[in-house]
Amino acid sequence: MTANIDELSALPRLPPELERKIFEQAALSCFQHIPTLMLTAWRVKLWLEPFLYRVVIDPELVDEVETAYADYPYIPDQTLLQKLRIYSSSSVGLYVRHILWDLSAQNSDDLLVALSLCVNVTDLFILGDPNTMLLPAINRLRNLSHLAIHVKSLCTSRSIDFASQTFSRLTHLELLGCDSDDFPDHDILVGLGAVPNLTHISFNVVYDAAAVHEQIRTHSNLQCIVFFEVGRAKHRPLSDDDRFVAVRQTRYITDWLHGATTGDDYWWLVERFIEAKRAGKVERSRYRIIDDEGSFLLIDHK
């Protein structure tokens, strides 16, 4: 039997607020299906389209995204800039939460425009050459909790003002380019304890992990201390600090995108590893792992 239109219209309907909540929850749980969900009805399109602007990635880096994540909804930064310039008075920028930008491929002025309009960004990853001109724009991001940036972009006169607004709400900080030229005596990290909410910190390209660790080991607020293994970089065993983890990672763009869309990035993986050590499931002497697409593989520490 087929119900006629009158019978269908008489069926109970969900309140719009509840219906919207259901669709939004479906979108958040399965990002790649958002375009399909938007076809349900015009009201659903209006509810879910903003989720397409949550993640912005540099188009030059799209080719590095693994095929498994190629259908996740993200927009190229140039598309974002076009929309921001055309609809500068609209709320497009307010929906952006995650930005991955490559300064070596894009003009820093474009990033300044984006940051001035995308004021609700929580996760910012900036690749490329250092640029201290970005600091004022980053300072204005009141909800910023995750920042990955070249260490020299944060420096003024070879020091970092960790008490500045930039760090006030940070919980996760990844410092790029931390080689011997950037950390000549490691004093650059002395003020790190002034960051009030910082719990996770990582260093990319560290030439002497033990020396850097010595500067931050007394900061009890830190729950994860990560050093990336790059090339032939070696780390002295630091197994007495179960917060310390050395990670070998090759698909960092994919990892960032996965974290932006699902929350499962290398930070999540490191937390699992630390929990396993504390639960006695991993030997305390182990501290080196391989980030293997959502699971960790142990590396011999010798």
Helices 266-278 and 252-262: crossing angle, nearest 10°? 80
Shared-domain flag, residues 61 and 171: yes
Calpha distance 27→122 (Å, rounded): 19
Residue 197 is predicted with a pLDDT of 93
- In this prediction, the residues of the chain whose per-residue pLDDT falls under 50 are 1, 184, 231-232, 300-302
Where does residue 109 rank: exposed (0-12), middle (13-18), buried (19+ CB within 10 A)? exposed
Query: Could you tell me if residue 9 is inside a domain?
Result: no
Tell me which residue range forms the domain holding 158.
54-298
Per-residue pLDDT tens over the stretch 267-295: 999 999 999 999 998 888 888 888 765 55
Instruction: Look at the pTM and tell me if it is higher than 0.75.
Output: yes
The count of structural domains within the chain is 2
Shared-domain flag, residues 181 and 230: yes
Cα-to-chain-centroid distance, residue 159: 24
Shared-domain flag, residues 164 and 179: yes
Shared-domain flag, residues 179 and 221: yes
Shared-domain flag, residues 34 and 117: no
Shared-domain flag, residues 256 and 231: yes
Shared-domain flag, residues 72 and 198: yes
Q: Which helix (H) or strand (E) holds 225?
A: strand 224-229
Shared-domain flag, residues 46 and 90: no
Residues 6+ positions from 158 with CB-CB distance below 8 Å: 188
- Nearest one of 195, 233, 236, 237 to 216, comparing CA atoms: 195
Residue 40 DSSP symbol: S
Calpha distance 73→35 (Å, rounded): 8
Residue 199 is predicted with a pLDDT of 95
Residues 6+ positions from 199 with CB-CB distance below 8 Å: 171, 172, 221, 222, 223, 224
183 half-sphere exposure, CB direction, 13 A CA radius: 24
Shared-domain flag, residues 78 and 23: no
Residue 302 is predicted with a pLDDT of 42
Per-residue pLDDT tens over the stretch 84-134: 776 655 577 888 999 999 887 667 888 888 888 888 999 999 988 888 888
